[in-house]
């Protein structure tokens, strides 16, 4: 699991949660109240794929918001040996 996400709220942290296809990935299922702040931390480990995991990678984390379209948090990187 080269990419994981964790949700931080005033009540503490939830996670980490990994990528689909790499075991069971439960939904966080946590409601953030109006006016409440939350932080999503995404960690990418380029060494997770070993020497073959070099080159360009693109990853996304989705945050759902009620009936609105999910918020997509994306990043890309170029992994070099």
Domain residue spans of the chain: 3-79
Q: What is the pTM of this model?
A: 0.72
State residue 76's pLDDT score: 93
**Are 28 and 66 a contacting pair, CB within 8 Å?**
no
The β-bridge partners of 64 are none
pLDDT digits (tens, 9 = 90+) for 9-38: 988 998 888 776 666 666 677 888 888 899
CA-based nearest residue to 59, from 77, 42, 75, 47: 75
pLDDT digits (tens, 9 = 90+) for 28-66: 778 888 888 999 999 888 888 877 788 898 988 888 877
* Cα(36)–Cα(50) distance, integer angstroms: 40
State residue 8's pLDDT score: 93
């Amino acid at each position: 699991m080269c990419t994981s996400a964790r949700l931080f709220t005033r009540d503490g942290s939830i996670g980490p949660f990994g990528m689909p296809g790499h075991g069971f990935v439960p939904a966080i299922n946590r409601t953030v109240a109006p006016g409440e702040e939350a932080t999503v931390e995404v960690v990418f480990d380029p060494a997770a794929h070993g020497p073959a995991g070099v080159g360009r990678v693109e990853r996304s984390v989705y945050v759902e918001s009620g009936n609105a379209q999910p918020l997509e948090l994306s990043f890309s990187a170029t992994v070099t040996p």
